Structure 1
Amino acid sequence: MKLRTGVLSGLLLMALAAPHAVAAADDYPQRQIKIIVPFPAGAGPDQVARMLGQYLQERFGQTVVIENRAGALGSIGAQEVARSAPDGYTLLMGTNTTQAANVAMLKNLPYDPATDFAPIIRTVTTAMVLIVKPDFPAKDLTQFMEYAHAHPNLTAGYGSGASQISIGQLQSRGGLSVIAASYRGVPQAVTDVMGGAINLAFADFSLAIPQMKGGTLRGIGVTSPARNELTPDLPSLAEAMPGFEATIWYGLLAPAGTPAPVINKLYAESAKFLAMPSTREKLASVGVIVSPMAPDEFGGFIRSEITRWTADAKAAGIEAK
């Protein structure tokens, strides 16, 4: 009898709480929203987050703050969101690094990318560019392969899982000998390429394209499996190294347990933003392509990406650190 009373009491509490939960979701948001970007300011995820954040701020009438928490291949910022209250007020602009590659890159990853987050929407896809200084002896992909074979131990900087795996693919698929140097983020590696401290790096399109147009960097090839629509004159690295691929993506996520109505509201508004022609133009200008996925589809995609990036890391000979 006590058990039955307890069950009835529990059901009563749930019934009383349900309307409140719905009302809370209907009223969301009622205060400032924070989007954590687990990479430095200026990186691709940061630029996308700031565009989306500005739109959400205008739509919701509440301040949307972008906070950069870089380090440890994005795991510092991702962990903070995973441990935040599941109320929709702390979000993550995650990437293939934080939500997939880190499973293979980092020992004792402090979060589970498949279960500790509620996917909201995949926003964009993009690739990286293998970049060097303008005075680098090789002018194109063919010359780069010849030069790199003749000059082993070129130095290559990385600041994300995708860029580290790409360096590994230079070795595993291209037969090149390079020395990988770790950076807090990709922008720092790019800065050292321009300064001559290292020979090359893999840079997000958002970082590489403006520098290439300005003549401060030269692009050798892209990491997408075929030539990218944004840089049709730049070859795919797979043209010289069959099987080379590192397609990257960004997406908005919340802590696991965030109410579905809140997730759905964030998805609906974000999808509207991505569907706008002006948004597509702005995002293309920073080297990313609008590629939305709804919450359920995005969740399944993340699980498949964990498998893919783990296999890529293994093939590249990368061991978790």
Structure 2
Amino acid sequence: MPVHSTRRLVLRLAFVVGVASLSAAPAAHAADPDYPTRPIRIIHGYPAGGGADVIARQFVASLQAASGKTFVLENKPGNAGNVAIGLAATAKPDGYTMVIGSSSNMVGARFFYKDVTFDVFRDFVPLASFLEGTFVLVARNETPANSVDDLAKWLKSRPQNRFGFSNQLTQLAGEYYKSKTGVVAEPVAYKAATDAYPDLQNGLLEFMVADGTTSAGPVKNGKFKAIAVMTGERHPAFPGVPTMRELGYEDADFSTWWAMYMPVGVDPQIAATMEKWVLAATKDPALIKFMHESGNAPLHDDAKATRAHIERELGRWPPLVKAAGIQPQ
């Protein structure tokens, strides 16, 4: 065969092989222009009926109204919310799984548990933040104390004390109070704050740090008393109750914040669409009204601001955890 014919054959074969290789290569994942074509599930790590669940359902309702799409909330309680985060971390990143992540899990879990399998930046794409939650130091009504210092004096006069907690942040806040005042009290874990309230009322617990969502009503109705707000500013749901900061505890800011996340690898266009919908939901007047009435505050942080918030909290938690003497279990 002539040399020039051989060259033409080689070039032709190379072209065919190249086309075949391109056909065999996996196509880059692109967002479906009709997305979503089915309901999107939102995984939530707390039990149905609790304060966290009430908040989540209100938010999902606002998200559906803002987007016109269907979202299904799935309660996956366990291990203080970490079970749900772990499930979301391994979910297919196809845009049909989201997770509500609190700062207790996304930031705090690594400081409390040795077996945490997820990492907020390695496994997730932050979308937007929608809530800042208030926490309050509460005690049973029969407690002969109405201030932080008087409560500490009374607790020190007793041979044994217990305090309840339902997540990493409320445990940290309770331990913080102990370390700052010299109080000795045994921590008792509950799946939800509402599970602890009967024990607080009947005297099995002396105090606890409770979320504003579930404690505002009982405090107002006189079932137990609010001693101090554990977040940076006072909240209208607890009129007249001072903050720990006002009382001289400068680093006592234990607000929680919630954000929406998708598994890493999700198409950027889908993430951007979801970010837009979440931010639109945060401006729903019904959601804003609910937040204020339930002892919380609405957030409107986009993906960039949410990531920056995570980074700040990852730097803030270690000294608080160390001061509280908490060791990963």
TM-score (norm 1): 0.89
Quote the offset at 1:61 in angstroms.
4.7
Distance 1:192 1:236 in 2: 25
Q: Which residue, out of 307, 310, 315, partners 1:307?
A: 315
1:211-230 superposed matches below 5 A: 211-230=218-237
Q: Which residue, out of 264, 280, 287, partners 2:295?
A: 287
Distance 2:190 2:15 in 1: 59
Instruction: Say if 1:258 and 1:215 are closer, same or farther in 2 by CA, change over 3 A.
Output: same
- 1:296 corresponds in structure 2 to 304
CA contact (8 A) 2:100 2:258 kept: yes
Quote the offset at 1:6 in angstroms.
8.6
| 1:96 pairs with 2:107 | no
| 1:153 pairs with 2:147 | no
Distance 1:5 1:314 in 2: 64
- Return 5+ residue gaps in structure 2 as ranges: 1-10
Identity %: 24
Aligned residues: 317
Q: Deviations over 1:10-43 (max 9, x none)?
A: 76777x945x723x1x322211222111122344
Distance 1:204 1:3 in 2: 67
Counterpart code for 1:245: D
**SS across alignment from 1:114:** helix
Quote the offset at 1:66 in angstroms.
1.6
Instruction: Say if 1:143 and 1:262 are closer, same or farther in 2 by CA, change over 3 A.
Output: same
Q: Deviations over 1:262-283 (max 9, x none)?
A: 1111111121121233321121
- 2:8 corresponds in structure 1 to none
Which protein shows a greater Rg? 2
Quote the offset at 1:142 in angstroms.
3.8
- Return 5+ residue gaps in structure 1 as ranges: none
Distance 1:243 1:7 in 2: 63
- 2:43 corresponds in structure 1 to 36
CA contact (8 A) 2:101 2:260 kept: yes
Quote the offset at 1:293 in angstroms.
1.3
1:79-90 superposed matches below 5 A: 79-90=86-97
Q: Which residue, out of 202, 209, 212, partners 1:202?
A: 209
Quote the offset at 1:121 in angstroms.
0.7
CA contact (8 A) 2:236 2:292 kept: no
Q: Which residue, out of 249, 252, 264, partners 2:260?
A: 252
CA contact (8 A) 1:92 1:252 kept: yes
1:36-185 superposed matches below 5 A: 36-151=43-158, 153-185=160-192
Quote the offset at 1:308 in angstroms.
1.6
CA RMSD of aligned residues (A): 2.7
Distance 1:262 1:80 in 2: 20
Counterpart code for 1:231: F
Distance 2:179 2:140 in 1: 24
Instruction: Say if 1:261 and 1:183 are closer, same or farther in 2 by CA, change over 3 A.
Output: same
Distance 2:80 2:38 in 1: 30
Distance 2:36 2:191 in 1: 33
Counterpart code for 2:30: A
Quote the offset at 1:207 in angstroms.
0.8
Quote the offset at 1:102 in angstroms.
0.6
Counterpart code for 2:284: M
**SS across alignment from 1:157:** strand
Instruction: Say if 1:10 and 1:100 are closer, same or farther in 2 by CA, change over 3 A.
Output: farther
My pick for the range that moved more, 81-90 or 4-13, is 4-13
Quote the offset at 1:67 in angstroms.
1.8
